[in-house]
Amino acid sequence: MQKKHLIIVAVLVLVFGIVAVRVLDAMRGQSAPKLPAPITYQEVEEINAKTVPTPATTKAVTQPKPSTAPSIRAAEMNLAVPFTVQAPVGDWGQPYQDACEEASVLMVKEYYANGPSVIDTNIAIKEILAMVALEDELFGYNIDTTVAETVLFAEKMYGLKAEILENPTVAQLKARLDKGQPIIFPAAGRVLKNPYFTPPGPLYHMAVIRGYTKNNQFIVNDPGTKRGNAFLYSFDTIMNAIHDWNGEADILEGKKLVIILHPQK
């Protein structure tokens, strides 16, 4: 009889959890602001290369057709960074449980390759496992890589150039996004308070800032949940959460660093 009661309780907990997530999805869907149209890396390059010539005479100048891409210095920005969850098929065992760094690097790499909005599952698995193998070769482990280690394997894996920004401000991050540069940030994961994380959330996490809204929110591709595509976090939440990995006991003392990856020209 006791076993039967335990089964009933387990089923009720499961049902309650499913209903709670669906209610949360509905509430977030109703309250979420409309995001700006995504702008691809190709469009960013075209806008940055565009110059407006000064006419030497009064001869009429033919105006170019308006671009469908938003202004590169708009009040809001949304880079078309392809998304993948770090556990592409829903298997949260290792190495996927701690593959947020690899997934973040892959998303930025696919952005510069003008990849589709959602990364193919098989490609995501292949690339994540390849990065894990490279990390094992470079460091002897693949879990909780620091900013410096993430930069190293990103450069070796994809030939990307990297910058590390220390103590960035919101204005500096927005300026990089305006230039078409996604931002990888390390975080004290529990400070993010993402409602879709398994409580209490990851101690250490990594994700990609892809844009910002008029409402003081960053648009983030968060690989820690399948609902992480263009997830909205407030400026304050992100700025408070940014911390490089320096050990379990003192993650909140980790340096405030972010990564900017660039393709080789």
pLDDT band at 72 (very low <50, low <70, confident <90, very high): low
Structural domains in the chain plus CATH codes: 72-262 (3.90.70.10)
Q: What DSSP element (H or E) covers 3?
A: helix 2-31
Nearest by Cα to 187 from 124, 101, 112: 101
Determine which of 18-32, 168-182, 220-234, 248-262 has the lowest per-residue pLDDT on average.
18-32
pLDDT tens for each residue of 78-122: 999 999 999 999 999 999 999 999 999 999 999 999 999 999 999
203-227 burial: b if 16+ Cβ within 10 Å, else e: ebbbbbbbbbbeeebbbbbbbbbeb
User: Chain-wide mean pLDDT for the chain?
Assistant: 86
Name the residue among 144, 120, 109 with its Cα closest to residue 247. 144
pLDDT of residue 63 exceeding 60, the answer is no
What is the residue whose two structure tokens read 């298997």? 91
Position 67 pLDDT exceeds 60:
no
